[in-house]
């Protein structure tokens, strides 16, 4: 871990500052040979959340505070979108596969929605260098919760704004509110796991042809 120098000249070097410097990177639709396969998790997302989900792998090279270099691999959540579907700009310069990855060929354009950075909350606050975090089924469980919230956010807000009048809410809305409270308990468990560094959370958009 690089140490922060409290006093330095304006032209201090990265070594004096104790920081990592990004040398370059590549976003790819091809998994690096050095990372474990995410095939079962990726296929679960296609099946349960969004068939237009595109798994992405980011490789960044960094100069370390002691003058060395290190390479970091990250998993990212992408999705194939068409014109007008999303305000995010599509990513350019992607390394595309010549053969199907996990049985599919990615379609362009692709937008990046989330990146697994492998950091605990404390490490992120201290500006630690990102590290590889595999896609896990717990991460996908959290993505299901986020998708549920996206689909029911207006009813959830209705329930929050009118808890004292909950009897006036129709039966269907009451069930949604009850389900949301149950889901929130799961969210808290995922948040704790993330804070402790035992699991990452991901967001998978479900607005682009995903199953309901």
Tokens of 175: 């069930």
Apex CA 119: angle with CA 32 and CA 198, to 5°? 90
- The whole-number pLDDT of residue 112 equals 92
- The whole-number pLDDT of residue 123 equals 81
- The whole-number pLDDT of residue 100 equals 97
Tokens of 186: 């799961």
For the chain, the residue count is 212
Provide the terminal-to-terminal Cα distance of the chain, rounded to the nearest Å: 44
Rg of the chain in Å (alpha carbons) = 21
Distance of CA 147 to the CA centre of its chain: 13
Which sequence spans correspond to the domains of the chain?
14-195
- The whole-number pLDDT of residue 200 equals 55
What's the pLDDT tens digit per position in 47-94? 998 999 999 999 999 998 888 999 999 999 999 988 777 778 899 999
- CB-based contacts of 131, cutoff 8 Å, min separation 6: 72, 117, 118, 119
Tokens of 15: 């070594």
Tokens of 108: 């362009």
Q: Cβ distance 105 to 30 under 8 Å?
A: no
- Per-residue pLDDT of the chain in tens (212 residues, 90 and over written 9): 443 223 334 454 555 556 888 999 999 999 999 999 999 999 999 999 899 999 999 999 999 888 899 999 999 999 998 877 777 889 999 999 999 999 999 999 999 988 998 887 778 778 789 999 888 888 888 888 777 777 766 655 555 554 545 555 566 666 766 666 666 666 666 565 555 555 556 677 665 443 33
118: left (phi over 0), alpha (psi -120 to 50) or beta: left
């Amino acid at each position: 871990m690089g140490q922060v120098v409290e006093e330095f000249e304006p032209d201090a070097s990265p070594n004096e500052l104790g920081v990592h410097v990004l040398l370059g990177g590549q976003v790819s639709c091809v998994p690096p040979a050095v990372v474990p396969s995410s095939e079962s998790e990726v296929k679960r997302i296609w099946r349960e959340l969004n068939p237009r989900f595109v798994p992405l792998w980011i490789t960044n090279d960094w100069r370390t505070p002691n003058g060395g270099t290190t390479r970091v691999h990250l998993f990212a959540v992408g999705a194939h979108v068409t014109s007008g579907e999303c305000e995010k700009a599509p990513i350019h310069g992607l390394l595309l596969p010549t053969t199907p990855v996990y049985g599919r060929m990615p379609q362009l354009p692709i937008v990046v929605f989330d990146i697994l950075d492998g950091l605990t909350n404390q490490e992120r606050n201290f500006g630690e260098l990102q590290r590889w975090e595999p896609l896990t089924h717990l991460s996908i469980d959290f993505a299901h919760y986020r998708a549920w919230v996206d689909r029911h956010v207006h009813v959830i807000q209705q329930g929050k704004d009118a808890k004292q009048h909950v009897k006036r809410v129709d039966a269907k809305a009451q069930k949604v509110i009850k389900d949301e409270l149950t889901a929130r308990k799961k969210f808290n468990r995922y948040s704790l796991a993330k804070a402790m560094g035992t699991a990452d959370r991901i967001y998978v958009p479900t607005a682009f042809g995903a199953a309901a």
